[in-house]
Chains A and B, each alone.
Chain A
Amino acid sequence: MKFLRMKPGHGEVLLAEGDPSVREEEERLVEEFRRQLDEGMWAAVPVTNSGSGRREAQMVKEFADIPPESERVIFFPRASGG
């Protein structure tokens, strides 16, 4: 699983990568996940809707909410009124 973050002037940046089934790597991923949310990021996972077959995103607020088969989680700044 990869954690990617959108960054101004960079595009996406790889924050962490690991196998959640390996305990140490999972702990590292959980720590990074919390850090990003503490920094005010939103986290989303691109998924395919099982009903319509369309691509969409699933917002995740807890590490446990990440679908197990996900290959990546994308962190991006939270929305604010422009």
Chain B
Amino acid sequence: MLLALLALALIAVVLSMPLALRRLEQWRTERAQRPQRGAAHALDDLYDPGRERRAEQRARELLRSCVNEEEWGMYRDLGFIRVPGRHARREIDRGARAAYAYLVYPHKPIVAYVPESGQLLSEYCVEFPDLTGSGGRHRLPASDDVLAKWMALTSDEDRVIRRANMHLIGRQLDPARVRRDLWRLAEWERRRGDRQQVPQSQR
């Protein structure tokens, strides 16, 4: 009886041998391919230095197609966009020049200030992280970041401001640099105004 059981076990082992060998071979192949796949992904990331530049170029085109001509010119020449605030202290002020405005920089806090006086009000730290991004990339191209802020501010200012962390000026941005940017903006607008007046006066 024992001999018969041993014979049966031996036959079972011999019959299952090809299956076991095939499985072992598959496992070996998969194991050999696994590090190569990882290396290929790493090479993709390493050997494409133009990827971010191309992404930024596309983002700039998208931004340009969405914002006003003035805002695009501002971003192209100065590196930031001014977005007027929507709220007014008094109903009578509504529709006139905005009581406050924002400076939107790429990957930097939004700065609120008073256009009339140039007084800096606060910094709003806000990000648009794409947590579904592959390869550990969560940061949008610079111009996409500006467009995201622009869209959020012009469509639902309260929501984006509520989500942002508000700080006093100087936490991340140098106030002197922001004041210099406001001066640059004023100069840019003056030159732009001059340029627009010249063709009219020549008519």
Give residues in A with beta carbon < 8 Å to B: 4, 6-12, 39-40, 42, 44, 46, 54-59, 74, 76-82
B129: chain A residues at CB < 8 Å are 77, 80
Q: In the bound complex, do residue B56 and residue A11 qualify as a contact, i.e. CB atoms below 8 Å apart?
A: yes
Binds A, one of B35-43, B139-147, B184-192: B139-147
A54: chain B residues at CB < 8 Å are 68
Listed by A's residue number, 17 A-B pairs whose Cβ atoms lie within 8 Å are A6-B128, A6-B140, A8-B138, A8-B140, A11-B57, A11-B141, A42-B152, A46-B65, A54-B68, A55-B68, A57-B66, A74-B147, A77-B129, A79-B127, A80-B163, A81-B163, A82-B125
Chain B, interface size category, equals 35 or more
Given that A42-B152, A46-B66, A56-B154 are contacting pairs, would A11 and B54 also be in contact in the complex, using a CB cutoff of 8 Å? yes
Within the complex, which residue of B51, B131, B155 is in contact with A77, where a contact is CB–CB below 8 Å? B131
Fill in one digit per residue for B67-78: 1 if any A CB lies within 8 Å of its CB, else 0. 110010000000
Q: In the bound complex, do residue A12 and residue B164 qualify as a contact, i.e. CB atoms below 8 Å apart?
A: no
B138: chain A residues at CB < 8 Å are 8
Interface of B is mostly: helix
A57: chain B residues at CB < 8 Å are 66, 150-152, 154-155
Closest to A76 in B: B148
Closest to B135 in A: A9
**How many angstroms from the CA of A12 to the CA of B56 in the assembled complex?**
10
Fill in one digit per residue for B122-133: 1 if any A CB lies within 8 Å of its CB, else 0. 000111111111
Closest to A6 in B: B144
Interface of A is mostly: strand
B137: chain A residues at CB < 8 Å are 8-9
Find the residue from B155, B159, B164 having the highest chain A CB count within 10 A. B155
A40: chain B residues at CB < 8 Å are 131-132
Q: In the bound complex, do residue A6 and residue B127 qualify as a contact, i.e. CB atoms below 8 Å apart?
A: no
Q: B9: shortest Cβ distance to chain A, in Å?
A: 54
**How many angstroms from the CA of A54 to the CA of B68 in the assembled complex?**
7
B106: chain A residues at CB < 8 Å are none
Q: In the bound complex, do residue B160 and residue A10 qualify as a contact, i.e. CB atoms below 8 Å apart?
A: no
B8: chain A residues at CB < 8 Å are none
